[in-house]
Amino acid sequence: MKIVTIPCLQDNFAYLLICKKTKEAAVVDPSEQAPVRKAVEQEGVKLTTILNTHHHWDHVGGNKELKALYPELTIYGHDSDRGRIPEQTEFLKNGDGVRFGEQSGSFLHNPGHTSGAITYVFGKTAFTGDTLFAGGCGRLFEGTPAQMYDSLNFNIGRLPDETELYFGHEYTEANLRFALTVEPGNAEIQKKLAAVTALRSSGAFSTPTTIAVERQTNPFLRCYSAEIHTTLKSKDPNHDLSEKNVFRTLRELKNHF
């Protein structure tokens, strides 16, 4: 499977997934129609499938026009997003598979950012939408901190270290700057921030990341960190240091960063 990153809108990423055997393609989270269509034409592939990670407009904004251009499109989303994802044709429930061309994948249900948020998994590649970003996570619009903690740490966090994670927005620099405010001595974060700053100033993107890198640099996967605990204790000496409470406070601090 070949993956083409398609920048959309201000800072969104859609991804074109190409089955090399059949030249059929799926697009993850088409924010808008035009850049997706351009990528499909450039790659000379047949777009058969849309994979939506959640219902937000900046992830489904191209669905309707793409469906008009390619009437046979199969459009996946979570079952609970019925009525919220335009033109949805497949309503994923636990255990269901995802396929296009000769590629078959699965999904993880990750409530938190939204109640129907999902991550698509194809082998050692995953598409996390607005659940996990490099160095951060999505805001909690429809879920609790505890749900998002589980989505990140138990669902996505269970994927093998080498899994490549393709996320929904280029927020990496700001995320890592926040990460350093709670874990200033983390050398991996310092190194990655320097690398991403250089990458961005050359016009490149920071997607994808890997599970291994996120375990070292993403505070929302590091709620056990002694240095993060010290930071939270310095703000509130009585802070409960259970991981879910640490997560809740980190998410609140990030909201105001």
Catalytic residues: 54, 56, 58-59, 113, 130, 169
Contact predicate 118/54, CB 8 Å: yes
H-helix or E-strand spanning residue 17: strand 12-19
Q: Does 56 bind Zn ion (CB under 5 A)?
A: yes
Rounded to 5 degrees, what angle do the CA atoms 137, 139, 145 make? 85
Q: Does 130 bind Fe ion (CB under 5 A)?
A: yes
Contact region with Fe ion (CB under 5 A), list: 36-44, 124-132, 154-162, 206-214: 124-132
Q: Does 29 bind Fe ion (CB under 5 A)?
A: no
Question: With CB cut-offs between 5 and 8 Å by kind, which of Zn ion, Fe ion, none does residue 248 bind?
Answer: none
Q: Which CB, 90 or 130, lies closer to Fe ion? A: 130
HSE-CB for 59 with a 13 A CA cutoff: 27
d(CA 2, CA 5): 10
User: What does the DSSP assignment read for 89-122?
Assistant: -EEE-TT--EEETTEEEEEEE-TTSSTT-EEEEE
Report the nearest approach of Fe ion to the CB of residue 136 (Å): 12
Size of the site for Zn ion (CB under 5 A): 2
Position closest to Zn ion via CB: 56
- Token pair, residue 198, equals 């250089």
Q: Which CB, 168 or 219, lies closer to Fe ion? A: 168
**Binding-residue pattern over the window 116 to 135 for Zn ion, x denoting contact by CB under 5 A:** --------------x-----
Q: Across the chain, how many H-helices and E-strands are there? A: 9, 14
Q: Does 24 bind Fe ion (CB under 5 A)?
A: no
**Binding-residue pattern over the window 43 to 72 for Fe ion, x denoting contact by CB under 5 A:** ---------------x--------------
Size of the site for Fe ion (CB under 5 A): 2
d(CA 25, CA 103): 10
Contact set with Zn ion (CB under 5 A):
56, 130
